[in-house]
Structure 1
Amino acid sequence: MKKLMTLGMIGILLYACTSNTNNDQQNTRSFPEEKSATSDPSAYDPTRGEGKFDAVEVGDKLDVALAKEGKTISDLKCASCHKYTDERLVGPGWAGVSEKHKPEWIMNFITNPDPMIDKDPELQAQLELCLVRMPNQNLSDEEARSILEFMRQNDGVQ
């Protein structure tokens, strides 16, 4: 009896997941794209990214307290998709990120991922590998700065 119920549930799930394909096409509405100065991909700065951070001062020394806070936030909001090594999980690993990108780029991506994914060729290539867009975690500027400091610590800044 349990096997029959399990098979029935699987059948229902499969049916529910596949039966809406025609309805999805019929219910799709097209909206005009919003045009703005930042929607032009040629205006995108790949060294800074897109967002409110133009310059982020990090200093030569690590802020240990900030890095510790960043690790706590990262463990909660980021570690389910990112490893702190160079190994990919759902998203790419974090090893070397703070050496590869400027602090402004990292802060803008952490707080504003969607527009950057839409315009940054490197992020688009990464999306093709990972197949999942980074969700906006709605982090505050302070939380994002803490995560940046943890990334720097992860990359060996002392």
Structure 2
Amino acid sequence: MKHFKKLIYGVPLLLVFSCGGGETSQNQGEEASSQTTENEEPETIKMGKGVGEFTEVEVSDPLNDEWIERGQAIYDLKCSACHKLTDQRVVGPGFQGVTNRRKPEWIMNMITNVDAMLAQDPTAQKLLEECMTRMPNQNIKPDDARKILEFFRHNDMEKAGQKDQAI
């Protein structure tokens, strides 16, 4: 009977304490948006580079085949359920021509810093309005984001016949 009482009182307490930790990730987007005032827009947004650690991304020709392969593997695992490599919108927008519409910095910031981008970047906010589904944070490392970008550049050459027109 003693063990039963401990169980009856212990389980609800455990649930209360275990559910309290979710506030930090939810507040990250709010925290990021409160860092700038309504009238102040970060310079990187004005330049079409978005919000995040990527302020300069060097792209090169020829494309790096090893990075393309790794970028495609990451895309297949984390992106393909919501995004197609054509211009077809599924849950999120299609990726065909993305390097012709968006700067490399913007693409990589959106991949790695989605909460702040959706909170502050007007282009990301417009995409959210169109797609009506918030992109989840996939916890992609900066190095992997660069490989995804290389895969997008390759995809644009294959599907759109050109790449990097947004640079």
The reply to whether TM is greater than 0.5 is yes
Aligned to 1:110: 111
Q: Distance in 2 between the 1:48 and 1:64 partners?
A: 25
Aligned to 2:155: 154
Aligned to 1:71: 72
Root-mean-square deviation (CA), in Å? 2.2
Aligned to 1:86: 87
Q: By how many angstroms is 1:60 displaced?
A: 2.6
Matches within 5 A, 1:135-154: 135-154=136-155
Structure 1: 5+ residue runs without aligned partners?
A: 1-30
Inter-CA distance 38–60: structure 2 relative to 1 (3 Å threshold): farther
Q: By how many angstroms is 1:116 displaced?
A: 0.8
Equivalent residue for 2:37, pick from 37, 40, 55: 40
Q: By how many angstroms is 1:155 displaced?
A: 0.4
Preserved CA contact (<8 Å) 2:50 2:105 = yes
Inter-CA distance 63–34: structure 2 relative to 1 (3 Å threshold): closer
Percent identity, aligned pairs only, is 49
* TM-score scaled by length of structure 2: 0.69
Aligned to 1:52: 53
* TM-score scaled by length of structure 1: 0.73
Q: Distance in 1 between the 2:67 and 2:134 partners?
A: 27
Question: What residue identity is the alignment partner of 1:39?
Answer: T
Task: Write 1 or 2 for the structure with the bigger share of helix.
Answer: 2
Q: Distance in 2 between the 1:97 and 1:38 partners?
A: 28
Question: What residue identity is the alignment partner of 1:146?
Answer: K
Matches within 5 A, 1:8-23: none
Q: Distance in 1 between the 2:32 and 2:145 partners?
A: 28
Aligned to 1:97: 98
Q: Distance in 2 between the 1:75 and 1:92 partners?
A: 15
